Amino acid sequence: MSLATPPLSLYVHVPWCVKKCPYCDFNSHTGRGELPLARYVDALLADLDHDLPQVWGRTIRTVFFGGGTPSLLPAELVDRFLQQASSRLRFAPDCEITLETNPGTSEYGKLADYRAAGVNRLSFGVQSFDDGCLERLGRIHDSAQAADAVRQAQDAGFAEINLDLMYALPGQDLAMAALDIERALALSPTHISHYQLTLEANTVFAARPPKGLPDDDLAWDMQEHCQSMLAQAGYEHYETSAYAKPGHRCAHNLNYWRYGDYLGIGAGAHGKVTMGASQSILRRWKHKHPTRYLDTAGTADAIGGDEAIEPSRRPFEFMLNALRLHEGFAWTQFLARTGLPRAAIAGPLSTAIELGWLEDDGERVRPTALGRRFTNDVLELFLDAPVEADIHG
Ligand SMILES: C[S@@+](CC[C@H](N)C(=O)[O-])C[C@H]1O[C@@H](n2cnc3c(N)ncnc32)[C@H](O)[C@@H]1O
Ligand code: SF4
């Protein structure tokens, strides 16, 4: 078996927000005073330069500015970054370039300038169209601002637009969750991400859970109901939380779920790169804290860690991603991206098939509806699967 080089993406992290939301555990910090954004873009470019030897000669298929709130970057800085980055690395002609946008930070002129800079997909953090829910979530915008931002993006010519929505919100009932979907559909985005609100460790909500959180049964009903509304409106449910109009799936996220490669630049960003020559897969991550990152980017001191993914860990990592997709994975992909033969997962796979969680038609392995409901149990089977040393190579 041998590892083949998969498609390559570029993730760019922007670690500041206008105000930290009480449910959020992303590496994001309330920006105080004037943010050093121009310096940050210089740091991103130095960081990219430092990582370049890992991916020399390869083509970038997708770019994702994530956060935090990347829409805090003025369009000139996004333009500068993309121009400089594309002089260092080859970008595919149809490269998908997404920018996460908080509706509280978008204005028409800026959106049009992002498009001129090369951004061709916007992902709006809408969360809900209910002003009471937005307030309880500590959001900086109301529902009218969110709807305006989406319309302005469409007027500015963006054809690819995602809305992030969350459900199982404090004070939300089934009708309210359905109304959020209805209001999202009225804006005709090409993509909708629909996440169940989770109480993440080390967040304000984990320390002091908000009142009126729906129980698990209600959360499940919300998910099923919203899912059928989205299906009726022509959105394909292709991943645990992702729905897209045909032909509008998120190429960047698909690359993660297919265990592709990505460079991660910016504070706390993670990367994964397959090295064909040494038949290894390397992970690298950068220091999380913005000040430390700014002071060290481009030097070895900015690296939070480097790690090789041993063959024994690859089946679980691969499944963790691939089983989120309704299409599952092709065997050819498993072999090329893990460097392991089918035998490496034969035991847990046959258990999962017996339990009705996965199906294998010889070419592809897919999660069943039952398997999709119990993803964590399915994954656990692959966590402890022994991979014999001699089957790699
Ligand atoms: C990095 S944020 C996106 C953009 C931008 N920062 C914003 O919030 O407007 C990514 C998305 O993850 C989702 N998210 C964040 N924290 C979550 C949580 N605790 N539970 C479920 N979804 C969450 C939200 O829908 C959020 O829009
Ligand atoms: S949800 Fe978005 S805006 Fe809120 S703190 Fe997290 S990254 Fe920032």
Last residue of a domain, one of 254, 273, 291: 254
Closest residue to atom 17 of ligand 1, CA basis: 24
Domain-located, residue 259: no
Rounded distance between C-alpha atoms, residue 137 and residue 108, angstroms: 25
CATH at residue 153: 3.20.20.70
pLDDT at 106: 80
Name residues contacting ligand 1 (CB within 6 A). 23-24, 26, 66-67, 69, 100, 102, 125, 127, 164, 166, 195, 197-198, 200
Task: Name the 3-class secondary structure at 318.
Answer: helix
Are 14 and 131 part of one and the same domain?
yes
What's the 140 CA to ligand 2 centre distance in angstroms? 10
Place of tokens 């691939």: 322
Rounded distance between C-alpha atoms, residue 161 and residue 189, angstroms: 5
Neighbouring residues of 303: CB distance < 8 A, sequence distance ≥ 6: 284, 285, 286, 287
Residue range 3-25, pLDDT digits in tens? 999 999 999 999 999 999 999 99
Pairing of strands 261-265, 8-14: parallel
Query: Which of 326, 321, 313, 315 lies closest to 371, judged by CA?
Result: 326
Q: Which ligand is nearest to the CA of 28?
A: 2
pLDDT at 389: 41
CATH at residue 339: 1.10.10.920
Closest residue to atom 2 of ligand 2, CA basis: 68
Does the C-beta of 69 come closer than 6 Å to ligand 2?
yes
Cross-strand pairs, 154: none
Residue range 111-165, pLDDT digits in tens? 999 999 999 999 999 999 999 999 999 999 999 999 999 999 999 999 999 999 9
pLDDT at 390: 37
Last residue of a domain, one of 218, 235, 254: 254
Q: Which residues of the chain have pLDDT under 50?
A: 388-393
Question: What is the pTM assigned to this prediction?
Answer: 0.96
Domain-located, residue 304: no
How many domains does the chain divide into? Answer: 2
Are 93 and 228 part of one and the same domain?
yes
Rounded distance between C-alpha atoms, residue 344 and residue 388, angstroms: 7
Does the C-beta of 270 come closer than 6 Å to ligand 2?
no
Domain-located, residue 269: no
Torsion 254-255-258-264 (CA) sign:
negative
What's the 69 CA to ligand 2 centre distance in angstroms? 7
Are 244 and 333 part of one and the same domain?
no
Are 44 and 110 part of one and the same domain?
yes
Domain-located, residue 246: yes
Q: Which ligand is nearest to the CA of 30?
A: 2
Give the range of the structural domain holding residue 345, as residue numbers without chain letter. Answer: 312-391
What's the 195 CA to ligand 2 centre distance in angstroms? 14
Closest residue to atom 4 of ligand 1, CA basis: 125
Are 329 and 229 part of one and the same domain?
no
* Pure H helices in 164-280: 174-186, 204-207, 216-232, 251-257
Domain-located, residue 266: no
Quick one: how far is CA 209 from the chain centroid? Answer: 25
Domain-located, residue 287: no
Are 365 and 249 part of one and the same domain?
no
Ligand 1 pocket: which of 12, 29, 100 to mutate (most atoms within 8 A of CB)? 100
Rounded distance between C-alpha atoms, residue 3 and residue 375, angstroms: 26
Read off the amino acid at residue 133: C
Are 26 and 162 part of one and the same domain?
yes
Are 248 and 328 part of one and the same domain?
no
Closest residue to atom 7 of ligand 2, CA basis: 68
Ligand 2 pocket: which of 16, 24, 101, 145 to mutate (most atoms within 8 A of CB)? 24
Q: How far is CA 254 from CA 71, 242, 304, in A?
A: 23, 10, 26
The answer to whether the beta carbons of residues 97 and 138 sit under 8 Å apart is no
Query: Which of 14, 20, 21 lies closest to 37, judged by CA?
Result: 14
Read off the amino acid at residue 326: H
Last residue of a domain, one of 216, 235, 254: 254
The answer to whether the beta carbons of residues 25 and 202 sit under 8 Å apart is yes
Nearest-5° angle of CA 359, CA 364, CA 367?
Answer: 40
pLDDT at 277: 87
Domain-located, residue 80: yes
Cross-strand pairs, 237: 243
Are 341 and 232 part of one and the same domain?
no
Residue 34: burial class (beta carbons within 10 Å; 0-12, 13-18, 19+): exposed
Domain-located, residue 232: yes
Are 85 and 179 part of one and the same domain?
yes
Are 356 and 223 part of one and the same domain?
no
Query: Which of 293, 376, 354, 349 lies closest to 44, judged by CA?
Result: 293
Are 326 and 234 part of one and the same domain?
no
Q: Which ligand is nearest to the CA of 70?
A: 1
